[in-house]
C-alpha cells in the first residue's frame, strides 16, 4: 500500500485528477490540499510557486497506471507524481483499500 503524492498547478486540475482516479478505481480515497506554497531551486534562483497537493491511498501495484493517468490529465505539463509506502496501517483501512480499488 502506498500514498501517491501528486503535485498539481491548480485546484481545478487537482480535482479533475482526483475524480478520474476514483472513478477508475485506481485509488481508494483522496485528500486535496489547496494553495500550498512551494519553493525549489532552478540553477542559482529560488522559485516560489503555489501548488495543490493530491494525496491518494492505493495499492502499490497501481502506481504506474496512476502516473500514466495523471500524465494524460494534466493541463500544464507540471503535474508530478511520486509515492510513499505505508509502514503501518489499520486493518480496516487495509481492507477498504483492497476492496475499493481495481485488482
- The answer to whether the CB of 74 falls within 8 A of the CB of 10 is no
Average pLDDT, the chain: 91
63, pLDDT greater than 80: yes
Q: Which helix (H) or strand (E) holds 86?
A: none
Q: pTM (2 decimals)?
A: 0.85
**Structural domain boundaries, residue 48:** 2-84
Q: What is the mean pLDDT of residues 72-85?
A: 81
Q: Tell me if 41 is assigned to some domain.
A: yes
Q: What is the mean pLDDT of residues 60-84?
A: 87
CATH number at residue 36: 3.30.70.120
**pLDDT of the residue at 74:** 83
**pLDDT of the residue at 89:** 86
pLDDT band at 75 (very low <50, low <70, confident <90, very high): confident
Residue 2 grid coordinates: 502506498
Block residue for cell numbers 510513499: 84
pLDDT digits (tens, 9 = 90+) for 13-47: 999 999 999 999 999 999 999 999 989 999 999 99
Helix (H, G, I), strand (E, B) or coil at 71: helix
d(CA 102, CA 79): 23
Percent helix / strand / coil, the chain, rounded to 5: 35, 40, 25
66, pLDDT greater than 90: yes
If one counts the domains in the chain, the total is: 1
Strand partners, 78: none
- The string over 74-102, giving b where at least 16 C-beta atoms fall within 10 Å of a residue's C-beta and e elsewhere, is beeeebebebeeeeeeeeeeeeebeeebe
Amino acid at each position: 500500500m502506498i500514498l501517491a503524492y501528486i503535485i498539481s498547478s491548480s485546484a481545478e486540475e487537482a480535482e479533475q485528477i482526483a475524480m478520474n482516479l476514483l472513478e477508475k478505481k485506481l485509488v481508494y480515497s483522496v485528500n486535496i490540499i489547496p494553495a500550498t506554497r512551494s519553493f525549489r531551486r532552478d540553477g542559482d534562483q529560488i522559485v516560489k510557486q503555489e501548488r495543490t497537493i493530491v494525496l491518494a491511498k492505493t495499492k502499490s501495484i497501481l502506481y504506474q497506471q496512476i502516473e500514466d493517468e495523471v500524465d494524460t490529465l494534466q493541463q500544464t505539463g507540471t503535474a508530478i507524481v511520486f509515492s510513499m509506502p505505508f509502514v503501518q496501517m489499520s486493518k480496516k483501512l487495509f481492507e477498504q483499500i483492497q476492496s475499493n480499488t481495481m485488482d
